[in-house]
Amino acid sequence: MSSAAQPQSVRHVAEHCGASLKGDGSVLVCAIASIASAKPGDLVFAEDEVKLDQALRSHATAVIAGEFAAAAHPSKPTLIARDPKLAFARVAALFGQVESHEGCHESAQIHLSAQIGEHTSIAAGVVIEEYCHIGNGTAIGANSVIGARVIVGQNCRVGPNVTLHSGTELRDRVVVQAGTVLGSTGFGYVRDESGRYQLFPQIGRLVVEDDVEIGANCTIDRGALDATVIRRGVKIDNMVHVGHNVEVGEDVVIAAQTGISGSSRIGNGAVIGGQVGLGDHVEIEAGVILGSGSGVLSHKVVRGKGIVFWGTPARPLRQYLKELATLARLSQKKAK
Amino acid sequence: MSSAAQPQSVRHVAEHCGASLKGDGSVLVCAIASIASAKPGDLVFAEDEVKLDQALRSHATAVIAGEFAAAAHPSKPTLIARDPKLAFARVAALFGQVESHEGCHESAQIHLSAQIGEHTSIAAGVVIEEYCHIGNGTAIGANSVIGARVIVGQNCRVGPNVTLHSGTELRDRVVVQAGTVLGSTGFGYVRDESGRYQLFPQIGRLVVEDDVEIGANCTIDRGALDATVIRRGVKIDNMVHVGHNVEVGEDVVIAAQTGISGSSRIGNGAVIGGQVGLGDHVEIEAGVILGSGSGVLSHKVVRGKGIVFWGTPARPLRQYLKELATLARLSQKKAK
Amino acid sequence: MSSAAQPQSVRHVAEHCGASLKGDGSVLVCAIASIASAKPGDLVFAEDEVKLDQALRSHATAVIAGEFAAAAHPSKPTLIARDPKLAFARVAALFGQVESHEGCHESAQIHLSAQIGEHTSIAAGVVIEEYCHIGNGTAIGANSVIGARVIVGQNCRVGPNVTLHSGTELRDRVVVQAGTVLGSTGFGYVRDESGRYQLFPQIGRLVVEDDVEIGANCTIDRGALDATVIRRGVKIDNMVHVGHNVEVGEDVVIAAQTGISGSSRIGNGAVIGGQVGLGDHVEIEAGVILGSGSGVLSHKVVRGKGIVFWGTPARPLRQYLKELATLARLSQKKAK
C-alpha cells in the first residue's frame, strides 16, 4: 500500500506523533507495516520487549516503541512514545493511501439540483437525488445511493453500495462503510380492527454528528416523527442495528451485530459489546460497560459508570459469575 | 417533508380516519409531525392527557387524540378517535410524500424481454434481467438488481441496492427495504468421501405474498427444491435471516436480527422478538409470542396461542422468571 | 429452471454419480426437482422408503435412492447410491442452469489497467477499479464493486451488489453471495489523551482460499497490519461477521448470524452453529462443534474434536443440559 505515499524522515515522523527519537533521524520511511510483513522503508510498532527484539531483527527500517525501550541501544532508529499504539495510529495518517480520486465519474447520476462541494470524489455508478448537499472533501463510493435532500458534511467517507435515505444528515468527517443503510423506515406498526398491521408514520430524521464511524452492512432507522441521533465520536462496528428514535451519546463504542430497539438512549462513553440486545425504551447511563451477548429488557435502566454488566437480563459481572459458579456446583452435587 | 402534500381540511381528515371532530372543521392541515417538531399547518398525535396538553400548547394546527379528550374544551381543532394511533397512521397516508418518479431512468438496464407495467418507477442504475415481470404502480429503487424471471406484483416498493434473485416472486403491495437480498442460495451441504462439503441443490423458489413488508439488509433464501413462503401481511424488521424452505404464516411479526433456520414453520399471528434464533425444522404454533433473544432448538415444537416464551431453550415466561429468581437466591445464600 | 439444460440418459446420470441402475437406462431426464413439484423429465431424490414410495407415485421420470431400495422392484428407473443425497448433489451439477452470460456488459465500468480473464461474465453496472485481476471463467454480478488491486481467481461466482475492498484476494472457485462486503476496515481503536477514539491502522489483507463459499450480506474485515485468512473449503452462511486478523481453518462450517471477533482462530473442520459469538483472541480447536447461540469469552481456548459445546460461556453439552435440569428442578421445589 506504500506506492502512493511520500517518504518522510524519521525525525519528522517523531515530531508528528510527539515521540522522542533514538538513532539517525535522517533515515527515510515511506509506509507502516506489521513486524512480520515489514520491508525496507517500513516503520513498525513494538508493544513490548519481545516485539521490540523481533522488530529489530525484521526488515523494517525504523520502530515505534514504548518507554520500556528508553534504556535499550536499538540497532535501528527508534521512536519512543508514552503510548506507542496511539503514536503509531497517528503516524499511519502520514502514510495513508489515497484511494479516492477527486472528481465525479461520468457514470454517476447526479440530479441537477444537488449541490456538490469542492475536492469531492463521486465514484462510478453513484446516484445522488434532488436537493442533496455533499460537503467539501467528501468521497462517495461506487454504486452508493443518496436520497433526496440528504445532507453530507465535509471530509466524509461513504463506502460503496451504501444507501442514505431521505431524512438523513451526516455532519463532518463521518465514515460509513460499504453496504450500510442509513435512514431506513423504522419498525412501528398499529393493529387495525381486523388485526392487520398498519405502518405507523416513519417520517422523522437521522442525524449523525461529527467523527462518527459506522461499519459495513449496518442499519440505522430514521425517527418515527422526531430524530434518531448518533452523537459526536460514536464508533459502530459491522452489522449493528439501531432502531427509530434512538439516541446514542458521544464517544460510545458498539461492537458487531448488536441491536438497539426503538427509543432507547445510551449515555456518553458507554461501551457496548458484540451481539448485545437492547429492548425498546431502554436507558444505558453514561460510562456503563455491557459485555458481549448481554441483553436488557424493554424500559429498563442500567446505571453505573465503569461497571461491567453481563448476561440476560444484564446484571453486574460479579453477580453473573457467582450465579454461573453456583449453578455448576449444584448440578455437580446432584450428579453424585 | 410537507412540500409535496396537498392541504386538507380537518373535517376531511376526520372523515378519512373515522374520527369525530371538535372545533373548526374548515381549518387546513398539510402534514403530520411530532408535538416537539410541529409547525403551523401540522397535525399531531396525543396519546394521553399529558400529551394533549403539550399538543395544545405546541405550534401544531390540529390534534388527534383518544376518547379521553371528549370532555375537554380544546383550543385547537381536535379529532377524537377510538384508537388515535391507528387514526394517525391512516391520516399519514393522506400526506405521504411521493419519493419515486414515474418512469424509467435512462441509466437503468432493462432486458428487452422484461415486461414492465404501467405507472412504474425504475430508478437510476437498476438492472432488470430477462423475462422479469414488474407490475403496475411498482417502484424499484436505485442500483437494485432483479434477476432473470423474477415476478414483482403491483404497487410494490423495492428500495435501493436490493437484490431479487431468480426464483423470487413478490405478490402485491410488498415492501422491500434497501440492501435486502431475496432468493439467495440456501445453506445446505453434503459431505463427500473426502470429508469436503458439496452444495446440495438450492433451486427452489421464494414466494412473498401480499402486503408483506421486509426491512433493510435482510436475507431470505430460496427453497432447496420447493419453496420458501412468506405469507400475507408478515412484517419483518431489519437484518432478519430466513433460511431455505421456511414457511412464515400470515400476519407474523419478526423483530430485528432474528434468524430462522431451514425448514422451520411459524404459525399465523405469531410474534417473534429481536435476536431470536430458531433451529431447523422448528414449529412455532399460531399466536405464540417469543421474547427477544430466546432460542428454540432444532425439531422442537412451541405451542400456546398468546403464551410468552423466553430464554434458551425457550420456556414459558413464568418459568423463566422463577428460574432466574431461584438462581439469584441460591448464589446469594452461598455467598453468606 | 430446466429450460437451458440438455437432456441426459439415466444411464449417463448413474455413471456420473457412481450409482447402480435399476430399470431402463435409456430414459431421458432433463432436470432435478422435489417429489412434490416433479414433472415428467425430472429426477427426484428419496431418502427413505416412505419417500421412495411417494417418488414412484409422483410425476417424476426417475429416482435416486439409497441401498434400502436395492431389494425393491421400482416402477421407474431408479439409481441406487450408497449416499443418495451426495449423489443427487452431484447430479444437480449436470443440470445446473447457466445464469451468467459470457462477456462484459456495456454499462460496466472497468479501469483500463484491470486484467480481465477469458470466459468471464461482468454484469451490468459492475465497477472494477485499477490494477484488478479477474481470473478465467469468473462471473461478477450486477452492480458489484471491486476495489483497486483486488485479485479474483478462476471460476469464482461473485453475486450482485457485492463489495470487494482493496487488499482482498479470492483464490479459485470462491462463491460470494449478494450484498456481502469483503475486506472492510476492522474495528480497532486507540483512545487519545482527551479520551476520544482514533482508528488503529487497518491496512492488512484478506485472503479467501479455494472453494470457499460465503453467503449473502456477510462482512469480513481485512487484517489490521497482517491478513485475515479464510482457508480452503470453508462454508459461511448469511450475515456472518468475521473480524480483522481472524484465521478460519479448512472445511470449517459457520451458520447464519455468527460473529467472530478480531484475532480469533478456528481449527480445521470445526462446526460453528448460528448466532454464535466468539470474543477476540479466542481459539477453537480443530473439529470442535459449537451449538447455535453459544458464546466464547475473549482469549479462551475451546478444545475437543467432535465434542459439542453449548451455552454462554460455552461448556460441554452434557454439563449444559445437567445445569438446565438442575435449575428447573430447584425452581420447582421452591415453588411448592
pLDDT in tens, A189-218: 999 999 899 999 999 999 999 999 999 999
Q: Residue B198 and residue C275: Cβ atoms within 8 Å?
A: no
Q: Name the residue facing B163 among C36, C160, C253 (closest C-beta).
A: C160
Return the pLDDT at C72. Answer: 80
Check pLDDT > 60 for residue B149: yes
Check pLDDT > 50 for residue A127: yes
Return the pLDDT at C2. Answer: 35
State the cell numbers at B138. 411498482
Indicate the Cα dihedral angle A287, A293, A298, A301, nearest 10°: -20
Half-sphere exposure (CA, 13 Å, Cβ side) for B140? 35
Q: Name the residue facing B327 among C89, C97, C327 (closest C-beta).
A: C327
Chain A environment of C325 (Cβ under 8 Å):
331
Q: Residue C150 contacts by C-beta under 8 Å, 6 or more apart in sequence?
A: C129, C132, C133, C164, C165, C166, C167, C168, C169, C170, C183
Q: Does B160 sit behind a cis peptide bond, omega within 30 degrees of 0 on the bond before it? A: no
Which chain B residue shows the shortest CA-CA distance from A111?
B124
Residue owning grid cell 480447536: C285
Distance of CA C265 to the CA centre of its chain: 18
Q: Which residues pair with C309 in a beta bridge?
A: C290, C316
Question: Average pLDDT for residues A49-65, to the nearest whole number?
Answer: 95
Which chain B residue shows the shortest CA-CA distance from C328?
B323
Helices C317-335, A317-335: axis angle to 10 degrees equals: 90
Distance between B179 CA and the closest CA of chain A, angstroms: 7
Residue owning grid cell 418512469: B103
Tell me what the pLDDT averaged over chain A comes to: 94
pLDDT tens-digit readout, B14-32:
999 999 999 999 999 999 9
Q: Name the residue facing C177 among B185, B200, B312 (closest C-beta).
A: B185
Q: Residue A292 contacts by C-beta under 8 Å, 6 or more apart in sequence?
A: A255, A273, A274, A275, A276, C261, C277, C279, C295, C297
Return the pLDDT at A95. Answer: 83
Check pLDDT > 90 for residue A96: no
Return the pLDDT at B101. Answer: 82
Question: Average pLDDT for residues B156-163, to the nearest whole number?
Answer: 98
Write down the pTM of the prediction: 0.96
Question: Which candidate, B30, C145, B299, places its Cα nearest to that of A178?
Answer: C145
Provide the residue-wise pLDDT of chain C in tens; the chain has 336 residues. Answer: 334 568 999 999 999 999 999 999 999 999 999 999 999 999 999 999 999 999 999 999 999 999 999 888 889 999 999 999 999 999 988 887 656 689 999 999 999 999 999 999 999 999 999 999 999 999 999 999 999 999 999 999 999 999 999 999 999 999 999 999 999 999 999 999 998 999 999 999 999 999 999 999 999 999 999 999 999 999 999 999 999 999 999 999 999 999 999 999 999 999 999 999 999 999 999 999 999 999 999 999 999 999 999 999 999 999 999 999 999 999 987 554
Is A217 in a helix, a strand, or coil?
Answer: coil
Check pLDDT > 60 for residue A248: yes
Q: Name the residue facing B143 among C83, C143, C331 (closest C-beta).
A: C143
Return the pLDDT at A98. Answer: 59
Q: What is the DSSP string of A124-190?
A: TT-EE-TT-EE-TT-EE-TT-EE-TT-EE-TT-EE-TT-EE-TTEEE-TT-EE-TT-EEEEPP--EE
* Model confidence band, residue A1 (pLDDT cutoffs 50, 70, 90): very low
Distance between C115 CA and the closest CA of chain B, angstroms: 24
Chain B environment of A327 (Cβ under 8 Å):
327, 331
Is A329 in a helix, a strand, or coil?
Answer: helix
Chain A environment of C218 (Cβ under 8 Å):
217
Q: Name the residue facing A257 among C200, C204, C241 (closest C-beta).
A: C241
- C195 vs A139, residue with greater confidence: A139
Question: Average pLDDT for residues A281-301, to the nearest whole number?
Answer: 98
Question: Which candidate, C227, C243, C302, places its Cα nearest to that of C272?
Answer: C302
Return the pLDDT at B335. Answer: 53
State the cell numbers at B306. 398468546
Check pLDDT > 90 for residue A318: yes
State the cell numbers at C118. 477469458
State the cell numbers at C54. 411417494
Q: Residue A189 and residue B235: Cβ atoms within 8 Å?
A: yes
Distance between B103 CA and the closest CA of chain C, angstroms: 20
Q: Residue A275 and residue C275: Cβ atoms within 8 Å?
A: yes
Distance between A328 CA and the closest CA of chain B, angstroms: 11
pLDDT tens-digit readout, B31-62:
999 999 999 999 999 999 999 999 999 999 99
Phi, psi of C10 (to 5 degrees): -60, -35
Check pLDDT > 90 for residue B234: yes
Which chains border A (3 or more CB–CB pairs < 8 Å)?
A: B, C
Q: What is the DSSP string of A223-249?
A: PSSSEEEE-TT-EE-TT-EE-TT-EE-
Q: How many percent of chain A have pLDDT more than 70?
A: 96
Q: Name the residue facing C259 among A83, A233, A274 (closest C-beta).
A: A274
Question: Average pLDDT for residues B71-100, to the nearest whole number?
Answer: 86
Check pLDDT > 60 for residue B336: no
Q: Residue B143 and residue A143: Cβ atoms within 8 Å?
A: yes
Chain C environment of A335 (Cβ under 8 Å):
322
Check pLDDT > 80 for residue A103: yes
Chain C environment of A253 (Cβ under 8 Å):
189, 197
Which chain C residue shows the shortest CA-CA distance from A44?
C225
Distance between C52 CA and the closest CA of chain A, angstroms: 42
Distance between B105 CA and the closest CA of chain C, angstroms: 14
Check pLDDT > 50 for residue A123: yes
Which chains border C (3 or more CB–CB pairs < 8 Å)?
A: A, B
Chain A environment of C295 (Cβ under 8 Å):
275, 292-293
Which chain C residue shows the shortest CA-CA distance from B297?
C292
Contact A76, A60 (CB under 8 A): yes
Q: Residue B215 and residue A145: Cβ atoms within 8 Å?
A: no
Distance between A71 CA and the closest CA of chain C, angstroms: 25
Return the pLDDT at A4. Answer: 52
Residue of B12, B165, B244, B299 with catalytic role = B244
* Model confidence band, residue B65 (pLDDT cutoffs 50, 70, 90): very high
Chain A environment of B219 (Cβ under 8 Å):
none
Q: Residue B203 and residue C92: Cβ atoms within 8 Å?
A: yes
Question: Average pLDDT for residues B214-222, to the nearest whole number?
Answer: 98
Q: Residue C208 contacts by C-beta under 8 Å, 6 or more apart in sequence?
A: C168, C169, C170, C171, C174, C182, C214, C220, C230
* Model confidence band, residue A71 (pLDDT cutoffs 50, 70, 90): confident
Q: Residue B187 and residue C328: Cβ atoms within 8 Å?
A: no
Q: Residue C275 and residue B279: Cβ atoms within 8 Å?
A: no
Contact C239, C254 (CB under 8 A): no
**Strands A109-110, A139-140: parallel, antiparallel or unpaired by DSSP?**
unpaired
Local structure of residue B222 (DSSP, 8 states): P
Q: Name the residue facing C161 among B107, B145, B313 (closest C-beta).
A: B145
Return the pLDDT at A335. Answer: 53
Question: Average pLDDT for residues A10-28, to the nearest whole number?
Answer: 95
Question: Which candidate, A277, A271, A273, A270, places its Cα nearest to that of A297?
Answer: A277
Check pLDDT > 50 for residue A2: no
Sheet with strand A175-176: strands edge to edge: A103-104, A121-122, A139-140, A157-158, A175-176, A213-214, A235-236, A253-254, A271-272, A289-290, A308-310, A315-316
Residue of A101, A111, A241, A244 with catalytic role = A244
Return the pLDDT at B1. Answer: 34
Return the pLDDT at B202. Answer: 93
Q: Residue C143 and residue A125: Cβ atoms within 8 Å?
A: yes
Q: How many percent of chain B have pLDDT more than 90?
A: 91
Is A87 in a helix, a strand, or coil?
Answer: helix
Is A320 in a helix, a strand, or coil?
Answer: helix
State the cell numbers at C188. 480497532
* Model confidence band, residue B332 (pLDDT cutoffs 50, 70, 90): confident
pLDDT tens-digit readout, A77-89:
999 999 999 999 9
Chain B environment of A219 (Cβ under 8 Å):
179, 215-217, 238-239, 256
Chain A environment of B309 (Cβ under 8 Å):
none
